[in-house]
Amino acid sequence: MHDNNHRWILAAQCPSRLGTVDVVTRFLKECRCYITEQHTFDDRQSGGFFIRTEFRPEAEGFDAEAFEAEFAARAAEFEMAFELTPPGRRLPVVIMVSKADHCLNDLLYRFRIGQLPIDIRAIVSNHPDLATLAEWHGIPYHHFPITAETKAEQEAQVWAVVEQTGAELVILARYMQVLSSDMCERLSGRAINIHHSLLPGFKGARPYHQAYEKGVKLVGATAHYINDDLDEGPIITQGVEPVSHTDYPEDLVTKGRDVECLTLSRAVALHVERRVFLHAGRTVVFDR
């Protein structure tokens, strides 16, 4: 786990051109900021440039507003969009869930021990089943039932929670409802979903049982940003776990749940640490 207590994060992207690395590193040097980690990527297909820099100020009295204003003037020449994240910031999030509790439990545990730098403002569900779990953690739980006839009304309730809590990220921790096109557009780039990832793909009910019947040798999971194409948004990270003929359907389910938990928490960590850039329908991910 990274130490968040003293590091600032500068994440930026712009068109590829000469001097993009220099404008960042030179400015940090002039501000007496020591670079502790840096990643860059130049996409020769799209002509996009991406940079993520962790740094610590060496001088006393670091002024974040002055830093941003002065760097914006330098970055303008490169059409560079950037974001400065202060040390120890906990991203406000809302978690959406249905009945399965494994991903929610995992996120709550990592949140509780401080492993994930998030602030869970609320949990939203279309079922009442996990209210007790939320109550134990002292987190507001909103039960919004949904039917085909009430979908628009239910999503309006969900959106109201997102706005009222100031959530900057929505985590779909096995939320088993398809979001509308309007909701996907509102949450574009700020909602992460998790689902099983099997080869070949098994759709419909009991996918792990279908996989068992075909004798699959890997189970996996995919974490991605949502979009209007079901389970086909820009991928953040994926995980796999080997299985064999000795694993029965219930074993595949268990291993699948474990992979889903690890993959989702990893995707959330990458997002909140500003390691993920969205560009041209894909992601650039600077891993840890």
CB 284 within 8 A of CB 18: no
Return phi, psi of residue 155, to 5°.
-65, -30
Radius of gyration of the chain (CA): 21
Active site residue 231: yes
What's the Cα-to-Cα distance from 250 to each of 71, 100, 199, 247, rounded to whole Å?
55, 15, 18, 8
Q: Report d(CA 12, CA 251) in Å as an integer.
A: 43
Neighbouring CB atoms inside 10 A of 173's CB total: 28
CB 29 within 8 A of CB 38: no
Which residue out of 119, 231, 251, 258 is catalytically annotated?
A: 231
Residue matched to tokens 């409802």: 177
Residues with catalytic roles: 231
